[in-house]
Structure 1
Amino acid sequence: MKIGFVLNSFNTESCGTSIILMNKACQMGHSVYALDVEDFVFSNRSYMEVYSYKIKKCKELSSPQDCLDQLKDLNLTKRKISLRELDVLFLRNNPTEENATRYWAEHAGIAFGRLAQQEGILVLNDAYGLSEAFIDKLYFEELPKCIKPASIITRYKNEILEFWNKHDKKMILKPLQGSGGKNVYLINKKEKNINQIIDAISEQGYIIAQEYLPEVEDSGDIRVIMMNGKLLEENGEKALIGRINKNKEEFRSNFKVGATATNSQLTPAIEEIIKLTSPRLIRDGLFFVGLDIVKDKLIEINVLSPGGLGRFKDIGLPDFAKTVITAIERKLYYKKKYNGRFSNRELATMD
């Protein structure tokens, strides 16, 4: 299998989920290509091309860091290849992590992913599904109400203040487009700068005001990794990881703001959330997705570039990368045997 991973930029990449998956695919004997979101070359008279770097053959015991070191090599040279040399294109760039000077990069991966699908390349997640879910916090709002906290999305300050008052003057404020807990605020009765905070977030666009769930203070939240519309499992182990911030001054449970990993159990409430989320993910061809849950409520869904695989080892679980790569192998097998009779969206979540 020849698999290409689309990243934001080699320069900003860290040793996270994308690198773990790349390293595992290489260890399993596949040809792995890395490319930035800026590396596509499209011509309407010939097949699309990409500038890419082929990962050097990994040793059996090579680490993801070894793979990342290759991408960070100052002497690295990319080679232009026809996209049709690849069997699979895995869209792993996160548009919300682009800065203001790279606004052009936000939609580029998905847009070129759609063109790649038209050329017959297996694209994961399905690029058309990603287009529909591009603002994942809005996509989240299309899921059943019973599994979500109350929320409002607006740019009107009076609407946000009214929501705040309805919920005992305690709410979470965050930008509609963002990730990693950046610019997320807990607003309570003691907050004196609420107007300034609303103004600051609104400069980035729409604001989400979300009901505060007090359970997060003691138990944090739980990241659930979904694959093919199901809870990801490997050898009976489930891809559930608790995230708790021991800093009592910090309400956010993101790893990027200091949360630590803990073991978590699959509760009936989490099973219900998975059951109600699954049909939508399958329908939209969203192969690899992250859910964030507090007790019995889904608080966020990440369809663009879900992470967390590197944290499972901290709680004695596998990184689940082998299972993910094996699932991609199966999709390619089905694609070849059925000779185009399944759409990309169908293959993307086919088990």
Structure 2
Amino acid sequence: MPQLLFVADPLETFKTHKDSTFAMMREAASRGHTLWACEPQQLVWQRGGVVTAHARRITLTADAHDWFDEVEAADIALCQLDAVLMRKDPPFDAEYLYTTHLLTQAEREGARVFNSPEALRAHPEKLAILEFPQHIAPTLVTRSIAAVRAFHAEHRDIILKPLDGMGGAGIFRVKEDGLNLGSIAETLTRDGAQTIMVQAFLPAISAGDKRVLLIDGVPVPYALARIPQGGEVRGNLAAGGKGVAQPLSNTDRAIAEHLGPILAARGLLLVGLDIIGDRLTEINVTSPTCFQEITDQTGWNVAQRFIDALEGKLAA
């Protein structure tokens, strides 16, 4: 019976009605896979041994709130499991980076880790788009407040965001009047000490910030358009956006089919592309979401396709 370890946030924090890691677990359990879970701080390595996790073996219940039972807690070697799924949410901070190094060591010892920890390090979610400039909006990466002012002078309506945020946290829009531009730039860059991203505002955000999922390089045929609500500039579901599943547009598919094989070849089994209009804005690799929203609205089972792909990798 295949054994899967999910390295994730605390299980008690899962919102099972929308959590994609839970959807993966549910699908895997339905196929008879054994589920283990741990948090990054529970990974350990010591000379003379291998990377281990103090993990919980769980079974799933039918209760949406009390959704799992802990069968046992044990120290397990990652190399003795069939697969390790890295599903820890951002921020992509130093501790996240250290976790990927432990997972790389586990790979040296024979573990199978998805997404590849080396690929996670190589694809920070905001900065990964720089490799594909033909698909992105006018973009500036800088810690210079003067450069931010110059970019605003050129594009007049801009978005500023930190490089390590998630769920729309820390995102600001500055319109043509430049109101509070200096204060926002100083705050986000910590007076020039921290690098940020600045992009030209895309009016197409009114139709939604689309999440396009790639599974082993192949796009899911539906995107989830996260539509801003109540005058908000952010479409993120965590910021109150409304999620509407829709078929991929021709541009969505073209971007996905260009990036999919490239990213899959680097060990990225699951990727979430963020697209506004016809412009790529982020490449999410840490813990892409929206499985349940797409499945619930379209009937296309994203988790089933993901576990199919995972099993295919393990059988190869």
TM-score by shorter chain over 0.5: yes
Rounded Cα–Cα distance in structure 2 between residues aligned with 1:104 and 1:241: 30
| CA distance in structure 2 between the aligned counterparts of 1:240 and 1:43, rounded to whole angstroms | 43
Contact 1:225 1:288 in 2 (8 A): yes
> Residue 216 of structure 2 is aligned with which of 228, 247, 266?
228
Whole-angstrom distance in 1 between the partners of 2:34 and 2:65: 18
Instruction: Encode CA deviations 1:126-167: one digit per residue, 9 max, x unaligned.
Output: 11111211x221221112x22110100001111011011111
TM-aligned CA distance change 1:199 to 1:12, over 3 Å: farther
In angstroms, what is the RMSD of aligned CA positions?
2.1
1:32 aligns with 2:35: yes
Letter in 2 for 1:117: E
Identify the range of structure 1 (87-96 vs 14-23) with the bigger mean alpha-carbon deviation: 14-23
Mapped partners of 2:162, 2:46: distance in 1: 36
Distance 1:285 1:189 in 2: 42
Residue 191 of structure 1, CA deviation: 4.4
Can you give the 5+ residue segments of structure 1 that lack an aligned partner in the other structure? 98-102, 233-237, 335-351
Secondary structure at 2:232 match in 1: coil
1:172 is aligned, of 155, 159, 182, to: 159
Aligned match of 2:73 in 69, 78, 100? 78
Aligned length: 311
Tell me, in whole angstroms, the C-alpha distance in 1 between the residues paired with 2:250 and 2:37: 40
Whole-Å separation in 2 of the counterparts to 1:63 and 1:4: 22
For structure 2, the residue ranges without an aligned partner over 5 or more in a row are none
1:244 aligns with 2:220: no
CA contact (8 A) 2:140 2:199 kept: yes
Any idea what SS the aligned residue of 1:293 has?
strand
Change (3 A) 1:23 1:132: same
3-state SS of paired residue (1:95): coil
The one-letter code of the counterpart of 2:168 is G
Instruction: State which drifts further: 28-37 or 304-313.
Output: 304-313
Report what 2:263 is aligned to. Answer: 281
So what's the TM-score if we normalise by structure 2? 0.91
SS at match of 1:215: helix
If the length of structure 1 is used for normalisation, what is the TM-score? 0.83
Alignment of 1:47 onto 2:58: no
Amino acid at match of 1:316: T
Verify: 1:212 aligned to 2:195, yes or no.
no
From 126, 151, 159, give the equivalent of 1:137.
126
Which amino acid counterpart does residue 30 of structure 2 have in structure 1? Q
Aligned to 1:193: 180
Answer whether contact 1:176 1:205 (CA < 8 A) is retained: no
Does the CA contact (< 8 Å) of 1:261 and 1:315 recur in 2? no
Cα shift at 1:314:
4.6
Q: What displacement does 1:84 show? A: 3.0
Give 1:317's aligned amino acid: G
> What SS does structure 1 have at the residue aligned with 2:211?
strand
Q: Is the 8 A contact 1:147 1:273 kept in 2?
A: yes
C-alpha distance in 2, partners of 1:30/1:154? 46
CA contact (8 A) 1:222 1:264 kept: no
- The answer to whether the 8 A contact 2:126-2:281 is kept is no
SS in 1 for 2:203: coil
Q: Report the CA distance shift for 1:155/1:308 in structure 2 as closer, same or farther (over 3 A).
A: same
1 or 2, which has the higher strand percentage? 2
> How far is 1:9 from its partner?
3.1
What's the CA shift for 1:258? 0.9
How far apart are the structure 2 equivalents of 1:253 and 1:35?
Answer: 31
Letter in structure 2 aligned against 1:136: E
Q: Does the aligned pair in 2 maintain the 1:6–1:93 contact within 8 Å?
A: yes
Aligned 8 A contact 2:128 2:282 in 1? no
Equivalent residues in 2 for 1:106-145, closer than 5 Å: 106-133=96-123, 135-143=124-132, 145=133
| Structure 1 residue 279 displacement after superposition | 3.4
Within the candidate set 21, 24, 41, 2:24 is matched to 21
Query: Residues 319, 9 of structure 1: CA spacing in aligned structure 2 closer, same or farther, 3 A cutoff?
Result: same
Amino acid at match of 2:96: E
- The one-letter amino acid of 1:322's match is Q
Matched, 1:316 2:305: no
Shift of 1:64: 6.3
Query: In the aligned structure 2, how far is the partner of 1:65 from the partner of 1:310?
Result: 16
- For 1:94, the equivalent position in structure 2 comes to 89
Residue of structure 2 in register with 1:9 after alignment: 10
Q: Give the C-alpha shift of residue 66 in structure 1.
A: 5.0
**Deviation by residue 1:45-98 (Cα, 9 ceiling, x = unmatched):** 123221100112x46xx466554x547xxxx8632122233110000012317x
Partner of 1:274: helix, strand, or coil?
A: helix
Q: Which residue of 2 aligns with 1:296?
A: 278
Are residue 258 (structure 1) and residue 247 (structure 2) matched?
Answer: no
